[in-house]
Structure 1
Amino acid sequence: MRFFTRFALLASIALLPLPAPAQETETSVGVLDAAKVPAVMARAVDDFIRPGYRHFTEDADTMEESMALLCDAPSAESLMNAQSTFGDLVEAWSRIEIVRVGPVIEGNRFERILFFPDRKGTGLKQVQAALAKPDPSVTSVDTLKDKSVAMQGLGALEFVLFGTDAETLSTTEGRYRCQYGTAIAANLQRLGAELSAAWDAPDGVAAAWKMPGPSNPLYRDEAEAAKELLGVLVHAAETIRDQRIENFYKGEPKKALPRQAIYWRSGNTFRSITANIEGLRDLLDRSGMAELLPEGNRSVVSSTDFVARSLSRVSGDIKPDVAHVFEDPAQIAKLDFLLLNSRDLILRLNNDLGGGIGLAAGFSFSDGD
């Protein structure tokens, strides 16, 4: 009876039926229209990547200001303001974090911004140790940036604002903790500025994306460039399923691990997942990847977006407190919906879109082929 109840709840989530699931085999393979690739790559850079990093940097700057205000005038109100600003920062990062190539993977920038998953709790222990005994080196961005990556990013800032004893931030007792949080915010702003500068440089990575060719150090031809962009989308979908959902829930509510969910302390788990999905949708749309498909096969993109949009809608409708989700069968059904259809999204991007623009069906980006 329980199975049928959950099945009924799952089936009732979507107002419209999803497109037929993508097939793992027998996907038609098209031919890449190389002439259209540079324009698609240029739009990906100018209309998604550069604005995304700029938005993150601006929100990190606002975060630093909120933390400084909290330190100067600690109160329940200024703490709530800083916590709210943190949620905005998480959303800004979650939209652009799907781009896991280029400058963000150099110098461990990605891990410095977001160290997750912290499977052994190593990062958490380091943050707790820093808070337990005042250490001036974590209250300045100049010295914090050289410490463990787990101590200087969003995960560390979340614990400062929402972890054990975070309520002390509303009083003068939390001054040191607040100074540490301010340094983290300043470090995030620094990293965001570096990423923006790298993508804004006229002869840097943006130029490499926009002008594939024999003399290009990254992409020797249009096929390699298109493969990179498609890989960003596929890896994003895989990460949403494997690291953001399955990290705490694999389909068995009794075995769920709510505290393994990203941003569970701040209640931003599903806000972040939704932003991941929306970032994927934006990149697919703004780059105009549909133009790389034959006109008769462009419905692949619209059906893929339909699945992603359904995932986003359901994710955005799940309770912020992950632990409470597992007390409600209707909420669990929504998680089941995410598990089922996130796999479909991966297949549509990998097989249908990949095959449609000239990559072999079943191409595995995870293998680096």
Structure 2
Amino acid sequence: MKHLAACLAALTLATPIWADVDQALQRHILPGFEGFADAAQALQKTAAQDCRADAVAPAYQTTFDAWMTIADLRLGPSETGALSIAFWPDKRGFTQRSLSQFIADQDPAAFDPALYSQVSIAARGLFALEMLIFDPDFADYGPDSYSCALVRAVSVDLADQAVALDQAWQQDFAATLRSAGAPGNTTYLDQSEALRALYTQLLSGLEFTADQRLGRPMGTFQQPRPSRAEAWRSGRSLRNVLLSVDAAQALAHRLTDADLPETDAAAARIHALAERIDDPGFQNLTQPQARLHAEQVQQAVRAMQEAIEAEIGTPLGIAVGFNSQDGD
């Protein structure tokens, strides 16, 4: 299953009694967005008190952990809202260039939240903040510096985005999914479409993990690209892989009340294989043994995709629909 977008098919079983969109929302998705908003607001308060890199870093890690619970959901308000929260892959280094320009110009947008919400997405969100507080070229700043003010600005903007995204899901889009097939719902014409949408997100997230979170830094055997790893500066590339797998496993269990032994075994194998990886930032992938271990994790992630298809997709008659993370 190389490109999910190629698999445009319908749901053949309308509403199986054990396919539960509401439980997925109530017990996984909505708590995830709420938790992310809470964490981002705590990060903002931390930065307001002390915006230096060492002071902000722990709250940043907690916020990124919370984000990973719902990071791979790219539908509804998240289809566009996630782009300025997590601008990655950054194939042309726009974040570094944007932040460097901000600092060089002492851009006044850093002192005006309304202005900052309109700047390039490359200078916003988790990856802009990561560069400011973890990259040696940016992180050595004092408490009264412009860079410190910029950290505060990105933190305020991130918290505002997190709250807005949470509210959009809680107050609007959750009802759209729940009311699939009801009069006036033009997004999902029947309940099967809502189920297929969430199922698509589930598999798309795992595909993104295999192809991007693992595949990008692996590059080729002749030319690995460790600096293309997600969040390598903060040393959480492997953690993001595992958290994305955990989120997929949790969502899978919320979409059905059937047992998922193959899916659970695949997730456990991913965690077991990940223990062999020495560098959580994937910076040692130039070494053949390190690359082999990453390849094994990648293969296990693909096996988890296949397990979910066998244990959820096939029994429910679901084929995957289009997802915004698919394709080129």
Once the two structures are aligned, what percentage of the paired residues are identical? Answer: 23
Q: Please name the residue that 1:150 is paired with.
A: 122
* Aligned twin of 2:280: 320
Matched with 1:56 is 36
**Aligned mates of 1:237, 1:91 — CA distance in 2:** 17
Closer, same or farther: CA 323–309 of 1 in aligned 2, 3 Å:
same
Question: Is 1:90 the counterpart of 2:57 in the alignment?
Answer: no
Aligned match of 1:255: 223
Tell me what 1:100 maps to: 74
1:192 aligns with 2:162: yes
Per the normalisation by structure 1, the TM-score is: 0.78
Deviation per CA, 1:21-64: give whole Å up to 9, x if none: xxxxxxxxx96361536x71111111111111111111111111
Alpha-carbon distance in 1 for matches of 2:156, 2:316: 42
Q: How many residues align?
A: 314
Matched, 1:69 2:32: no
SS at match of 1:34: coil
Superposed displacement of residue 167, structure 1: 4.1
Whether the aligned pair in 2 keeps the contact of 1:112 and 1:150 (CA below 8 Å) is: yes
Instruction: Report the counterpart of residue 306 of structure 1 in structure 2.
Output: 265
| Aligned residue number for residue 32 of structure 1 | 13
Equivalent residue for 1:45, pick from 12, 25, 39: 25
Distance 1:60 1:359 in 2: 35
Distance 2:300 2:206 in 1: 10
Which residue identity is paired with 2:298? L
Query: Do 1:52 and 1:92's aligned partners in 2 also have CA atoms closer than 8 Å?
Result: yes
Residues 1-369 of structure 1 aligned to structure 2 (within 5 Å): 32=13, 34=15, 36=17, 40-71=20-51, 79-105=53-79, 108-169=80-141, 171-172=142-143, 175-201=145-171, 204-215=172-183, 216-250=185-219, 252=221, 254-285=222-253, 287-291=254-258, 298=259, 301-315=260-274, 318=277, 319-324=279-284, 326-327=286-287, 329=289, 331-350=290-309, 352-359=311-318, 363=320, 365=322
Call closer, same or farther: CA 1:266–1:341 in 2, change over 3 Å: same
SS across alignment from 1:117: coil
Task: State whether residues 197 and 321 of structure 2, in contact with CA within 8 Å, keep that contact through their aligned partners in structure 1.
Answer: no
Q: Is contact 1:278-1:312 (8 Å) kept?
A: no
SS at match of 1:132: helix
Structure 2: state its 5+ residue gaps: 1-10
Q: Secondary structure in 2 aligned to 1:223?
A: helix
CA RMSD in angstroms comes to 2.5
Runs of 5+ unmatched residues, structure 1: 1-29, 292-297
- Bigger Rg, which one: 1
Structure (1/2) with the larger helix percentage = 1
Question: After the TM superposition, which of the residue ranges 346-355 and 109-118 deviates more from structure 2?
Answer: 346-355
